[in-house]
Amino acid sequence: MNRWAPERKFWTARQIRNHRRPPGGIGSALATILILCGICAIPGAWPVGMIVLARVLGGWTFLALLVLVVVLVPTLQRMRVVTARRELAHWSAEADWLPATGRTEWPWSAEWPWNPDHVTVRSALGGVAEGLPVVIGELSWIHGALGGAVDSASGRGVFIVVRLPQPYASVSVQRRRQVPRRRGGEDEFVRRFRIILDDLSLADQLRNPELHEAHVTGRVLPWSITGDELYSVVVTGRPLRPATATELIQKTLFLLRLLEMRD
């Protein structure tokens, strides 16, 4: 029996060694790359992530990947913008909308007059929706130029401006930047939004439960009224497309019906 013991021991060790998975492999390398790419996406951490990623991939592979990203990403972005412009031009031609050029005064300029140059209207189209003059387009802002109309101090987005049948006192419904923890029985509209108004002329419309529900469910956008214009701004880095334009118009017209601001 003793003379077989070494052989069994050798066989057992060989079986364990044969079934052991080789270190690394494609799956492990891919997981490492994904993790490092995530690290590179964290502000302030990307230099370290890039260095480690270069060591994992190898110098030439990393350089080729970097060149591909530098060339490909801007190209795809330009293609996306060109495609969106083409689609929007086709949509506006069918709907008889025209470029809104030459306008320098916008409703947010009157609301925040101390920094009018900090908001740039990049493109705008004007038309008529259910008898009301409407302007939609793209804009960018810096230094908190849009105040509470948006959640960020700087960025890009799309907007809609509707000319109302008559002027109203300034009023706006804005999202709260810091939403408190939900408590039992609390009004969800009050928890998520705040109302800012100059007088109580629209108090009855603003108490409308259907209006509150529409805000909570996203059927209408946060909005502001300055004089005879109502406007909304949506924060997004995507170019304006026909589907987005149609959604902006529909939500705004629904809001006007809830506010009883139609002739």
- Specify which of 13-27, 28-42, 188-202 reaches the highest per-range mean pLDDT: 188-202
The pLDDT, as a whole number, for residue 174 is 94
The pLDDT, as a whole number, for residue 148 is 85
The pLDDT, as a whole number, for residue 199 is 87
**H-type helices in the chain, by residue range?**
5-19, 26-40, 46-57, 59-95, 107-111, 188-192, 203-206, 209-217, 242-259
- Specify which of 6-20, 187-201, 220-234 reaches the highest per-range mean pLDDT: 220-234
Burial degree of 188 (CB within 10 A; 0-12, 13-18, 19+): middle
Contact 241, 88 (CB under 8 A): yes
Given a cut of 80, is residue 91 above it in pLDDT? Answer: yes
Q: Average pLDDT for residues 41-64, to the nearest whole number?
A: 63
Q: Mean pLDDT across the chain, nearest whole number?
A: 80
The pLDDT, as a whole number, for residue 42 is 57
Given a cut of 50, is residue 98 above it in pLDDT? Answer: yes
Contact 56, 29 (CB under 8 A): yes
Burial degree of 40 (CB within 10 A; 0-12, 13-18, 19+): middle
Rounded to two decimals, the pTM is 0.71
The pLDDT, as a whole number, for residue 15 is 47
Given a cut of 80, is residue 182 above it in pLDDT? Answer: no
- Specify which of 82-86, 110-114, 169-173, 174-178 reaches the highest per-range mean pLDDT: 169-173
Report helix, strand or coil for 121.
strand
* Band of residue 84 on the pLDDT scale cut at 50, 70, 90: confident
The pLDDT, as a whole number, for residue 44 is 55
Least confident interval from 25-34, 102-111, 234-243: 25-34
The pLDDT, as a whole number, for residue 195 is 94
